[in-house]
Amino acid sequence: MSQFFQAWQKRKEALQSKALEQYSVESMESVSDVTLTTNVEENIQLIEAQFGKCDDLVVRRFQTKSKAQAAIVFIDGMVDRNVISDFIIRYMTTPDITYHDPATNELDLTDKLRQIVRNILSGCAVLIIDGCRNAYLNNTRGWDRRSVEEPQTESVVRGPRDGFCETLCVNSALIRFRLKDPNLRVRHMVVGERTQTDIYVMYIDGIAYPPIVEEVIARIESVHVDSVLESGYIEQMIQDRRWSPFPQIQNTERPDKVVANLLEGKVGILVDGTPFGLIAPAVFSQFYQSPEDYYERFYIATLIRFIRIISISIALMLPSLYIAFSAFHPEMIPSRLVIAMAAGRSTVPFPSLVEALFMELAIEILREASVRLPGPIGPTIGIVGALVVGEAAVTAGLVSPVMVIIVAVTTIGSFASPSYSAAIAIRMLRFPVMILAGMFGLYGIMLFLIVILIHLSSLKSFGVPYMSPLSPLNLNGMKDLFIRVPHHLFKTRPMMFHVQDKIRIREEDNPK
Amino acid sequence: MENQQRNFGTWQITSIMISSMIGVGILTIPRTSTMLLQQAGWIGPISGALIAGVAVTAIVYLGNQFPGLTFVEFMPRIFGSVIGTMCICLFILYQFFNAGITARVFGEVVVTSVLPDTPLEVIIVTLLLLVLFLCCHEIEVVARVNELLIPFLLLPSLLIPLVSFMNADWYNLLPFHVESWTDVVKTGLDTYTLYTGYELLMVYFAFAIPGARLGVASITGMSFAFVVYMISVIAGISVFGYEELQRLIWPTLELVKVTQRTGWFLERFESAFLAIWVASVFTTIGNMFYATIFSLRQWFRKGIRFQRISAIVMMVPLFFFSLIPQNIVELYSYLKHLTTMGYMVTIFIPILLAITQFMRNKINKGRKENIEKGGT
């Protein structure tokens, strides 16, 4: 069945990518591959014809010191105006300066119209001089960018406070700044037929396993979409199993996390225009591991990991356990508690499954609403929702008091996972477990858990089994799975990513 | 299959073995082993293990002789194609029926003890659907699932008997005396069925990574299962005494029931035990049915699509087969017939195969030496 589906999918994709390629070829062909002439006005007309009636295209005409007509063409807002006025126009017009070329840091000459158009679109200023066949492509890129700020989704108590921003070169510099290794390789790629989004694939030569790197690059190359607006586009197009609820590529806003993962032999993918970088391959432990685990002492780091695992299990199973216990196995609950629970439930007219679904739905609505609301009002919704609605629902006899506690604990538990996109997988799977628990009790919960386990075991991320190092069992990887052993015991890198340079701490460097 | 990678580690093989062996048998073991031996019933698992051990040795020998080949491929090589094909058929049929019976026993246990209002069919269907889901994946997934479910399997089966020792009356085990050794052998022939599941290794050994220690894996697997059964039997005898055990259908479940009020936050454990026990039954049936389907796939030399379709198709007769016995008594009489068939598949065939292969190696070696001698 799924085979057929995949075949159908592939066919659809092939058709789509063919159409897109067709479009891209056509649109580039429409930029006729003409070369420039020696006349400035003709050249300006050629360029303006490509952009149509475009009012943010600025053409500034002036005379050079040798009295030749010249013009500068750029798009308003994408360039650094100071560079253009100080280092291009002033250099070319002031007679005292004997230097002939504009004084910009990146300078290129071309007479191909196609290349000129592409460069103008990415923020270059193009200088055309009368009598000269070639145009100067000056790198004057500089638009208003958000400065480096603390990441919003992955805050830590101890650890660096800088997060990625929307500009690709800043993000890659944040990584370079932490990893001064000449073996750090950066591959530039462009994806998106219309958006022409820049993508950096980063890896450390000599640590990363070359087939994984090749696979990542090949998969990104095979992506044919019209637009890439966020790294999520790339993530969802290149992951191994697109129908899985579990993220097989990790995303992060933290440069330190990317660097740590590069050092483990993984591949980092940065996409222009988004503060979320990608890390591939990913394994299941991303659900409960945070960079902070490595910055704090290992006792507390290990303890906190266990707390996260418990809270993830709570987020997945607590409502369904409540349903199973109260509807099918009340004999398991201690007798005093079961009497108290029965007293609380005595006014509730619904079965516990309906009660739980109702409350979980309410809390999901509250969560979504408080995310959308502007900052100062957000907490108000939380207070109104949690306190007022919960209290009122109990008083009105719609839900039992225990249910309110359970919903609250479940929601708090789902926030404890350091990775948001991993946590939403758990949040989503909670509902089928609840329904199965309502049908079969604990047996139903176990059935669903086994289904999830089978699915997780079948997942692979770029050839790395998703549940490794737990399965296939890898004792070396267990050092960093549940417990985080002290740093001096991390003598080798994790083996599951087939690292090339295995040694992390050399014995001879650390004489006892 | 050439396109299958051989990537099962030693621990994965061990966990497949443990989880195929520990299944529904653990519920009845205290009764079956005390039936003849009475208070000395703890000898039952030992004699059963000895009988099974011979067959396991034979299978390990075969696994080392034919690395990367399943029984579907090496049986015709040893026995010739006609007898080989018959043996393959027998093996596949045995696994098929065994999976059906196991599912039925499981369904009966769940319906009688925790979900009295749920129809038996629903329990069996849901369990079989789960198995079907497993069968839609490649064989390496089976190994990983087994590996991940091992804690779910070992924890309750070790913990429950240990906890129930609190209610133990150790005098029930006395006197240390064996009435008749023929009874020991008879009980052994009965209790060896607890260890059935090891014959699946004839399939799964083929995917062990080169260099995996098959012998170590099977010894570890056998000893894990042995310890679990031994503790259950001792707990059963010491808590209930052998006379009372004869009146309990599932003594191990009763052990769980008497284990109450341990001071934890849960009062009674049988629902939790049965929920976790789903994992061990699932792995047993899953491994059996997967072996059935996978052998078919290999026999006809087809791909994963054939496997998926045949899993769906075979599921229907399996479901109806599991509903044939009308009640528990009839179910256990069917199980007895199956055990007789099991002697053939799980003991005689592997041992015969190993002996034939051993003889053939000897003869070939002799011939080679003769040729070498003649050559020089």
Alpha carbon separation from A173 to A150, A169, A179, A180, A251 (Å, rounded): 16, 6, 10, 10, 18
Residues A83, A88, A90, A91, Cα dihedral to 10°: 120
Are A219 and A334 within one domain?
A: no
E-assigned strand segments in A237-341:
250-252, 267-271, 277-280
Alpha carbon separation from A8 to A15, A240, A459 (Å, rounded): 11, 17, 21
Type of residue at A62: F
Are A98 and A236 within one domain?
A: no
Q: Which residues, listed in sequence order, are joined to residue A270 by a DSSP beta bridge?
A: A200
Contact A454 B138 (CB under 8 A): no
| Rounded average pLDDT over A194-211 | 93
Q: Indicate whether B344 belongs to any domain.
A: yes
Are A314 and A196 within one domain?
A: no
| Rounded average pLDDT over B295-312 | 91
Please tell me the least confidently modeled range out of A303-312, A427-436, B158-167, B340-349.
B158-167
Confidence of residue A113 (pLDDT cuts 50, 70, 90): confident
Q: Indicate whether A159 belongs to any domain.
A: no
Q: How far is B318 from chain A (nearest CA, A)?
A: 19
Which residue in chain B has the smallest CA separation from A453? B145
Q: Indicate whether B5 belongs to any domain.
A: no
Is residue A89 over pLDDT 90? no
For residue B111, the domain's CATH number is 1.20.1740.10
Residues of B in Cβ contact (< 8 Å) with A472: 7, 9, 12, 143-144, 147
Are A313 and A437 within one domain?
A: yes
Q: Indicate whether A330 belongs to any domain.
A: yes
pLDDT at A38 (0 to 100): 83
What average pLDDT does chain A have?
Answer: 87
pLDDT at B77 (0 to 100): 86
Are A325 and A460 within one domain?
A: yes
Interface test with A, best of B145, B264, B268, B289 (most A CBs within 10 A): B145
Please give the DSSP secondary-structure letter assigned to residue A34.
P
Confidence of residue A7 (pLDDT cuts 50, 70, 90): low
Which residue in chain B has the smallest CA separation from A441? B115
Is residue A473 over pLDDT 90? no
Pick B296 or B262 by higher pLDDT.
B296
Contact A332 B141 (CB under 8 A): no
Please give the tally of structural domains in chain B: 1
Is residue A137 over pLDDT 50? yes
Please tell me the least confidently modeled range out of A7-16, A349-358, B244-253, B337-346.
A7-16
Domain enclosing residue B66, as ranges: 10-375
C-alpha distance across the termini of chain B, in Å: 40
Q: What is the ipTM of this complex?
A: 0.92
Q: How far is A280 from chain B (nearest CA, A)?
A: 21
Q: Which residue, A282, A308, A323, sits at the end of a domain?
A: A282
Are A262 and A311 within one domain?
A: no
| Rounded average pLDDT over A158-179 | 92
| Rounded average pLDDT over A196-202 | 93
Pick A163 or A24 by higher pLDDT.
A163
Q: Which residue, A282, A311, A332, sits at the end of a domain?
A: A282
Q: Is B265 on the interface with A (CB under 8 A)?
A: yes
Q: Indicate whether A152 belongs to any domain.
A: no
| Whether the Cβ atoms of residue B199 and residue B353 lie closer than 8 Å to each other | no
**Chain A residues contacting B via beta carbons under 8 Å:** 1-3, 328-329, 331-335, 440-447, 450-451, 453-454, 456-458, 465, 467, 470-473
pLDDT at B1 (0 to 100): 39
Domain enclosing residue A125, as ranges: 24-139
Confidence of residue B164 (pLDDT cuts 50, 70, 90): confident
Is residue B86 over pLDDT 50? yes
Which residue in chain B has the smallest CA separation from A459? B141
Confidence of residue A1 (pLDDT cuts 50, 70, 90): very low
Q: Tokens representing A424? A: 């939403």
Q: What is the pTM of this model?
A: 0.90
Is residue B263 over pLDDT 60? no
Is residue A263 over pLDDT 90? yes
Task: Name the residue among B144, B265, B304 with its Cβ closest to that of A472.
Answer: B144
Are A195 and A341 within one domain?
A: no
Are A261 and A385 within one domain?
A: no
| Rounded average pLDDT over B98-121 | 91
Residues of A in Cβ contact (< 8 Å) with B265: 334
Q: Indicate whether A247 belongs to any domain.
A: yes
Report the C-alpha gap between B122 and B118 in whole angstroms: 7
| Whether the Cβ atoms of residue A389 and residue A358 lie closer than 8 Å to each other | no
Q: Indicate whether A150 belongs to any domain.
A: no
Residues of A in Cβ contact (< 8 Å) with B279: 446, 450
Q: Indicate whether A145 belongs to any domain.
A: no
Q: Indicate whether B2 belongs to any domain.
A: no
Q: Tokens representing B288? A: 């059996």
Report the C-alpha gap between A452 and B311 in whole angstroms: 20
Strands A250-252 and A197-204: unpaired
Q: pLDDT tens across A362-412, in order?
A: 888 888 888 888 777 777 777 777 778 888 888 888 889 899 899 989 988
Contact A328 B12 (CB under 8 A): no
pLDDT at A144 (0 to 100): 77
- Specify the DSSP element, H or E, that contains A204: strand A197-204
| Rounded average pLDDT over A92-101 | 77
Q: Indicate whether B4 belongs to any domain.
A: no
Report the C-alpha gap between A347 and A270 in whole angstroms: 55
Confidence of residue A198 (pLDDT cuts 50, 70, 90): very high
Are A434 and A487 within one domain?
A: no
Is residue A270 over pLDDT 90? yes
Share of chain A above pLDDT 70, in %: 94
Q: Is B120 on the interface with A (CB under 8 A)?
A: no
pLDDT at B294 (0 to 100): 93
Alpha carbon separation from A338 to A130, A335, A347, B267, B272 (Å, rounded): 91, 5, 15, 11, 17
Reply yes or no: is the peptide bond before residue A511 cis, omega within 30 of 0.
no
Are A132 and A186 within one domain?
A: no
Q: Indicate whether A367 belongs to any domain.
A: yes
Per residue in B151-163, is it b (16+ CB within 10 Å) or e — as a string?
Answer: ebbbebbeebbeb
Q: Indicate whether A390 belongs to any domain.
A: yes
| Rounded average pLDDT over A343-360 | 90
Which residue in chain B has the smallest CA separation from A475? B11
| Rounded average pLDDT over A36-57 | 86
Closest CA to B120 of B280, B279, B298, B328: B328
Contact A458 B12 (CB under 8 A): no
pLDDT at A36 (0 to 100): 81
Is residue B130 over pLDDT 90? yes
Q: Indicate whether B161 belongs to any domain.
A: yes
Q: Is B134 on the interface with A (CB under 8 A)?
A: yes
Are A179 and A253 within one domain?
A: yes
Interface test with B, best of A5, A321, A447, A455 (most B CBs within 10 A): A447
Task: Name the residue among B9, B148, B271 with its Cβ closest to that of A332.
Answer: B271
Please give the tally of structural domains in chain A: 4
Are A216 and A246 within one domain?
A: yes
Interface test with A, best of B16, B134, B141 (most A CBs within 10 A): B141
pLDDT at B2 (0 to 100): 43
Taking residue A468's Cβ as centre, other Cβ atoms within 10 Å add up to 23
